[in-house]
Structure 1
Amino acid sequence: MIDALTIVIGVTALTLAAWCGFAAYRDQPTKDWHFIGMAVVTVLGLAQLVVGIVRLARGEEPDQGTAIFVAYLLGSALAVPIGAFMSLAERTRWGSATVAAAAVVMAVLEVRLFDIWEGTGG
């Protein structure tokens, strides 16, 4: 994987998690600005998905298996959009908390993607 892209995704996802977590702490639902942040993180996740698929199509293989890599890749790309839709259904502080949790999940999945590709994971 591209190290810089993985780092950028992790940092932006954790920033989104902190932002939405603070909104939940302040008893606020997700607002339009939060959705812009979610869109940015989602676009980065989709870029990672494209990079991963292109690398697989070129014949490169992850050290820990293609199936698990693709599963984590899809999970990472879909974590924040799913959290966004759930926050629309729950227009309270818990919607913000849901997005914060989804963003943390995305950051963790990115770390695991790097481990699967490089072979440094358990």
Structure 2
Amino acid sequence: MLVALTVTVSVTALLLAAWCGFAAYRDQPTKDWHFIGMAVVTVLALVQLIVGIVQLARGEDPDQGSVIFVSYLIGALATVPAAALLSLSERTRWGSVTVSAGAVVLAVLEVRLYDIWGG
């Protein structure tokens, strides 16, 4: 697993969490530019999924099993889009809180992915 990619996804997720948390603090719902940030984080998670699957196809094995590893990769990819959908249904400050919480969950999943791979 590429450590630099894992760190990049984690840092961008935490930046998104801070950005949406600040919007919630200012009593604002998610705006279009927040969705652009969510798209960037989601694309990075998709790249990580592809890299992880390619590494598994090349014969590299995570320490704690391939099934758990792929499950966490898919969960990491789905976290921010799920939070985005929930924020669309809640057009108040709580939509921003939802995205912020989803981004923090993604950062935690990245730490777990690093551990599963054998970091």
User: Which residue is 2:82 aligned to?
Assistant: 82
Distance (Å, rounded) in 2 between the aligned partners of 1:67 and 1:17: 28
What pairs with 1:31-46 in structure 2 (closer than 5 Å)?
31-46=31-46
What pairs with 1:1-122 in structure 2 (closer than 5 Å)?
1-118=1-118, 120=119
Unaligned runs of 5+ in 2: none
* Count of matched residue pairs: 119
User: What is the RMSD computed on CA atoms of the aligned residues?
Assistant: 0.7
Runs of 4+ in 1 over 6 A off after TM superposition: none
- CA deviation profile, 1:4-36 (whole Å, cap 9, x unmatched): 101111000000000001111111000011001
Shift of 1:91: 0.5
Q: Give the TM-score normalised by structure 2.
A: 0.98
- CA deviation profile, 1:95-121 (whole Å, cap 9, x unmatched): 000000000000010111011001x5x
Distance (Å, rounded) in 2 between the aligned partners of 1:53 and 1:2: 12
Unaligned runs of 5+ in 1: none
Q: Give the TM-score normalised by structure 1.
A: 0.95
